[in-house]
């Protein structure tokens, strides 16, 4: 039976249902079409598939009624003809035997359909049990959801109380901030006055630096003259000795008699040469020592030049204020690189307490970073701003 025949039979049953036909009529029509048109023995599942109505006890009754009508119609046709009596008896026996076999086949089909129905019922009961289990799980989840909702409501109440307390703390913190701002403004005025005093002291230091530079220049010229004279004296004394040494060696080859005398002179000349060389070494050591002193003075001069605008105390004070985050960006920008000579690197990272911060310079930008935790101040225009950014970013990250 193909799909087209199935669809046609379904349409016929739907037409009968629309015209008001009852269940028995729908089942009889399905059995008739299946048996006579398609050669299919009607079964409970097949009839139920097309009619979509009737219970497991009603459909077998409809099928039995169909077979009863078939047997009655066959019996009428046999008895209505002009058939001899002996043949009628034989035909009756044949029909009786066919009826018995039909009953046996029907019972077998009924048993199979009953087994199929039992399996369907078992599957339905299993689905019902699964549905009950799911319903119980849903109810339990609903109870848990209600518990979580109650806990969330309690949490909301506690958060509202915390928010009220936080607002009170924020108000008191604002008042404290106003007081702190006033105190910082007073400190700023005092520092400005002290800065003016330090600038005056720096002017005096600048004059002292000029005097030291002139003295350094004079000492350098004096030591250079002494070194030059010592070298000239050594050359003047060594060259005649070498000439005389060569002449004595020539005379030693010619005159065997004066070998000892010439050897003695050669030994004396060598001693004098060694003494001259030792003196030259002393002069060279003195020159290196004086050169180190000159380098130290030059380094001190460069440091004083870098710190020329303010004293060491002011520089350390400004560095401490920057490390504490008490200098604004405008103040750091106004100071620029004037304090860079006084800026010292922190001994350890304030974020991880283990790393040693490193200062890197890229053209005109400075960056202070920790190699252990990658904590950084970002690119800044001065060492003082890098120190302030390194400490301020740590305090922002700590809460």
**Is the pTM above the cut of 0.85?**
no
Q: How much is the pLDDT for 399?
A: 33
Chain segment 185-239, per-residue pLDDT in tens: 888 888 888 888 888 888 888 888 888 888 888 888 887 788 788 778 877 777 7
Q: What are 355's two structure tokens?
A: 């790393």
Q: Which residues of the chain have pLDDT under 70?
A: 1, 73-93, 95-96, 252-253, 255-259, 262, 299-312, 336, 338-340, 392-399
Tens digits of residue pLDDT in 45-59: 888 888 887 777 888
């Amino acid at each position: 039976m193909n799909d087209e025949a199935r669809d046609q039979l379904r349409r016929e049953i739907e037409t009968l249902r629309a015209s008001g036909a009852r269940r028995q009529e729908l089942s009889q029509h399905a059995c008739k079409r299946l048996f006579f048109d398609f050669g299919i023995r009607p079964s409970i599942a097949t009839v139920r598939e097309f009619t979509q109505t009737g219970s497991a006890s009603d459909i077998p009754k409809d099928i039995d009624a169909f077979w009863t009508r078939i047997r009655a119609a066959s019996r009428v046709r046999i008895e209505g003809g002009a058939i001899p009596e002996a043949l009628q008896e034989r035909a009756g026996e044949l029909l009786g035997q066919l009826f018995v076999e039909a009953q046996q086949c029907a019972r077998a089909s009924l048993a199979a359909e009953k087994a199929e129905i039992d399996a369907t019922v078992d599957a339905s009961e299993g689905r019902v049990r699964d549905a009950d289990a799911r319903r119980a799980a849903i109810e339990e989840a609903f109870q848990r959801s209600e518990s979580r909702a109650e806990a969330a409501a309690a949490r909301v109440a506690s958060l509202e109380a915390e928010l009220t307390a936080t607002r009170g703390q924020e108000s008191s913190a604002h008042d404290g901030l106003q007081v702190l701002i006033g105190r910082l403004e007073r400190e700023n005025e005092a520092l400005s006055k002290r800065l003016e005093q330090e600038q005056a002291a720096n002017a005096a230091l600048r004059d002292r630096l000029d005097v030291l530079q002139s003295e350094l220049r004079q000492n350098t010229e004096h030591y250079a003259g002494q070194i030059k004279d010592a070298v000239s004296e050594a050359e003047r004394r060594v060259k005649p000795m070498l000439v005389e040494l060569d002449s004595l060696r020539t005379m030693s080859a010619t005159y065997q008699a004066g070998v000892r005398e010439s050897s003695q002179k050669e030994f004396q000349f060598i001693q004098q040469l060694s003494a001259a060389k030792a003196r030259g070494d002393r002069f060279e050591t003195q020159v290196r020592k004086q050169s180190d002193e000159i380098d130290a003075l030059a380094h001190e001069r460069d440091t004083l030049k870098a710190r020329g605008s303010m004293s060491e105390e002011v520089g350390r004070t400004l560095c401490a204020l920057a490390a504490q985050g008490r200098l604004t960006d405008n103040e750091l920008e106004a100071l620029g690189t004037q304090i860079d000579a006084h800026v010292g690197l922190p001994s350890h990272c304030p974020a991880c307490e283990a790393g040693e911060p490193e200062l890197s310079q890229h053209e005109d930008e400075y960056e202070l970073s920790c190699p252990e935790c990658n904590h950084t101040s970002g690119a800044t225009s001065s060492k003082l701003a890098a120190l302030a950014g390194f400490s301020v970013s740590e305090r922002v990250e700590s809460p």
